Amino acid sequence: EQPSAPQPISAPLRELPWSKQVNFLHTTDTHGWHAGHLQEAQYSGDWGDYISFAHHLRKRADDEGSDLLLVDTGDRVEGNGLYDASSPKGKYTFDILKHQHIDVITPGNHELYIANTSRREFDEVVPDFKDSYIASNLDVYNPSSGKLQPLAPRYRRFTTKNQQIRVLAFGFLFNFHGNANNTVVQPVQETVKEPWFQDAIRTKDIDLFLVAGHVPVRDSEEYDLVYKAIRGVAWDTPIALFGGHTHIRDYRKYDKKAFGIESGRYMETLGFLSIDGLSTGKRGVGAMASPEFRRMYIDNNLYSLQHHSGTNKTTFGTDLGKNVSQAIRSARKQLKLDHTFGCAPRDYWLNRAPYPAEDSLLTLLDTQVIPDTFNHSLDRPSIVITNSGAMRFDIFKGPFTTDSTFLVSPFTSGFRMIKDVPYGAATQLLQLLNNQGQILLEDLAAMYGGEEHRLKDLLPPLAPVNAQTLSRNQVHIASSDQQIPLADKPSLPGYTTVDDAGSDGDDTIHQAIQFYDVPNCIASNIGFSATTVLETQGEEPDKLDLVYNEFIQDWVLLALRYLGQKYEKGQTKSALRGQTMTSVIEEWVGGHWGCDAKD
């Protein structure tokens, strides 16, 4: 772990459901958090620790004659200073990542938003993982030839080292439409019809289909299609699915021989899946009628990692693991990620507080940060709208650093403005963007040119998807708590997941945290007060200027059109001198939050 990381607190742990046959470690949606969480002891393990942990489990597997495979399902970038603060972005991250031996690795949507990001994926990450990167439905324009080609092989067939399990692996991305124009995502419904896919699923002598992808394991049309396509020709072969994107811990039973795991976000969770009872390439080893699948969500901290690997403080860190932790430390130093802009007087939560509330990060934004920032730069009554999805993480009481600016909001898009929007339309816009009116955004998109697929990637599923699914788990948590004897009532707050296998998946027995839904968008009125206008019955400005985060421009233009105001992109202009949300927050903190000596 990093020297500044807090020491993990001991807590009651469940035992790892290790298999004598094949075991998996799964990471997803790490979003650059390879230094671990430096303000949360529970998730303070770094990528170097993960390397040491995998080493010990691999050794156990070798000693016992079982197997360990590692899977990563994308969104490794955007969301942490270690990735976002360097120029070019990822300058240190890729050299750190490559030291972990990963058996199956796939891209996520964040690898594709910006052309330079996917180009670096092609130039660096794919070669770094040349034996394990899979891109079943993603093509890239080769920067040298200009030709469209698969980002990586469409699938892989391999046999595990010790058990000789014959695996056929795929690597999918959900039907993402927000990618830059140097990549092409093929819709999964087309991919499953491709001759190469149809041939692959008919491969003889496969013991396990491994479907990895940046795709949620639940409520996902894409994984349902892949599952059905495989089951259509291999009715009995076990399938292990590894998913991501919704940032939750989840485990789904597709049928008695097909299970899918999703392993959270931000290096908080190391997902663990084990299978017993598969057929193998070894003579005479047939499949069990019902192979046994088991799962666990490991909290990424040294207390958990040492426990599950049967090591201790002295024996845990391997030379490679320690070197990688040191490389992370040195990269953070070079990037000056600990530079402090100010000190937060309290915690501000993105989803752990309701909105609006005193301790809500979104309330801080729409009542203080945005008004203070835009009051200086806008000289006429205006509404400033931003998507809550642009905010990625909480602010903790204490030093707010360069790193914090990227944890909270890493994106490079700026703000745009439309001048002189009629008051009525401008003031109804927020409601429409938050799906609170008589018509839903999706209906609007369908009405106006059927662009809903492309637009879907911009607004809902935004924060509400994560929040809803988190609170979906939360609802069940109460019942999981009831199963814990009163005397053992957990005191450490954290995830308390309920999934298709029950409520015993988290390795650490946590006290439940409450998560809340938040709106898609928030808004601040600048230079006028809607309440005063209402109360005085009149005196409303005829027109307002509308400022919004560029990322949601398509939605804003669409909603305005429904409200009777047709604007083209060419009629919008840059606002706030091209500043991003990252720099807005950084400046605001610098100007408003001092640090007492005691901080």
Ligand X SMILES: O=c1ccn([C@@H]2O[C@H](COP(=O)(O)O)[C@@H](O)[C@H]2O)c(=O)[nH]1
- Residues of this chain, 397-426, that bind ligand X according to CB under 6 A: 411, 413
CB of 531 to ligand X, least distance (A): 29
DSSP 298: E
- Only one of the segments 385-393, 472-480, 484-492, 508-516 lies at the binding site for ligand X (rule: CB under 6 A); that segment is 385-393
Amino acid at site 589: V
Q: What is the smallest separation between the CB atom of 379 and ligand X, expressed in angstroms?
A: 27
Residue whose CB is less far from ligand X, 16 or 390: 390
Closest to ligand X by CB, 323 or 413: 413
The footprint of ligand X on this chain (CB under 6 A) covers a number of residues equal to 12
Question: Smaller CB distance to ligand X: residue 77 or 324?
Answer: 77
Q: How many CB atoms lie within 10 A of CB 534?
A: 10
Strand partners, 511: 493
Encoded one letter per residue, x for contact with ligand X by CB under 6 A and - for no contact, window 298-337 reads ----------------------------------------
Residue whose pair of structure tokens reads 């403005």 in the numeric block:
417
Burial pattern 296-322, b for ≥16 Cβ within 10 A else e, equals bbbbbbbbbbbbbbebeeeebbbeebe
CB 207 → ligand X: shortest distance, Å? 33
**CA trace torsion 518, 434, 178, 217 (10° rounding):** 50
State the minimum distance, in angstroms, from the CB of residue 75 to ligand X. Answer: 6
Of 350 and 421, CB closest to ligand X: 350
Contact yes or no for 240/252 (Cβ under 8 A): no
C-alpha to C-alpha distance for 540 and 340, rounded to whole angstroms: 42
Identify the three-state secondary structure at position 70.
strand
Task: CB nearer to ligand X: give 55 or 245.
Answer: 245
CA atoms within 13 A on the CB side of 381: 16
Instruction: Report in angstroms how near the CB of residue 548 gets to ligand X at its nearest.
Output: 11
Total length of the chain? 599
Encoded one letter per residue, x for contact with ligand X by CB under 6 A and - for no contact, window 344-383 reads: ----------------------------------------
Using Cβ positions, the residue closest to ligand X within the complex turns out to be 389
For residue 207, the 8-state DSSP code is: S
List beta partners, residue 494. Answer: 512
Q: Is the peptide bond before 485 cis (omega within 30 degrees of 0)?
A: no
User: Of these, 349, 551, 562, 588, which contacts ligand X (CB under 6 A)?
Assistant: 551
Binding string, 208-247, against ligand X, x = CB under 6 A?
Answer: -------------------------------------x--
Distances (CA, A) of 406 to 1, 127, 501, 544: 20, 27, 36, 31
Please identify, using beta-carbon distances, which residue of 243 and 389 lies nearer to ligand X: 389
What is the smallest separation between the CB atom of 293 and ligand X, expressed in angstroms?
A: 27
**584 vs 405: CA distance, rounded Å:** 9
Please report whether residue 462 would count as binding ligand X according to CB under 6 A. yes
Does residue 389 belong to the site contacting ligand X (CB under 6 A)?
yes
Residue 520 beta carbon to ligand X: minimum distance, rounded to whole angstroms: 8
Nearest-approach distance from CB 173 to ligand X, in angstroms: 11
Closest contact distance (angstroms) between CB of 410 and ligand X is 8
Which residues in the 556-595 window bind ligand X by CB under 6 A? Answer: none
Q: How far is the CB of 214 from ligand X (least distance, A)?
A: 8
Q: Does 390 bind ligand X (CB under 6 A)?
A: yes
Measure the CA dihedral 139/141/142/146, to 10°.
150
- The piece of 63-71, 109-117, 232-240, 438-446 that touches ligand X (CB under 6 A) is 109-117
Of 412 and 511, nearer to ligand X (C-beta) is 412
Angle between helix 553-562 and 423-433 (nearest 10): 120
Q: Which is nearer to ligand X, 68 or 215 (CB)?
A: 215
The answer to whether 72 contacts ligand X (rule: CB under 6 A) is: no
Q: What secondary structure does DSSP assign to 369-380, as a single string?
A: IHHHHHHHH--S
Whole-number minimum distance, CB 154 to ligand X, in Å? 23
Q: Which stretch binds ligand X (CB under 6 A): 107-115, 286-294, 296-304, 509-517?
A: 107-115
In contact, 48 and 328? CB cutoff 8 Å: yes
Nearest to ligand X of 18, 551 (CB atom) = 551
Evaluated on CA atoms 139, 141, 143, 145, the torsion sign reads positive
Taking CB under 6 A as the criterion, the residue among 42, 52, 300, 387 binding ligand X is 387
Q: Does 172 bind ligand X (CB under 6 A)?
A: no
| CB of 480 or CB of 580, closer to ligand X | 580
Q: Give the residue ranges of DSSP H helices in 150-207.
A: 188-191, 195-200
Please state, in angstroms and as integers, the Cα–Cα distance from residue 429 to each residue in 144, 238, 481, following that order.
Answer: 44, 49, 42
Residue 236, Cβ neighbours under 10 Å: how many?
9
Extract the tokens encoding 55. 């080493």
Binding test (CB under 6 A) with ligand X, winner from 46, 49, 72, 75: 75
Q: Which of these, 500, 23, 20, 67, lies nearest to 258 by C-alpha position? A: 500
Q: Which is nearer to ligand X, 413 or 431 (CB)?
A: 413
> How many whole angstroms separate alpha carbon 346 and alpha carbon 517?
21
Burial 454-471 (b: 16+ CB within 10 A, else e): ebbbbbbbbbbbbbbbbb
Q: Does 545 bind ligand X (CB under 6 A)?
A: no
What residues make contact with ligand X under the rule CB under 6 A? 75, 109-110, 113, 245, 387, 389-390, 411, 413, 462, 551
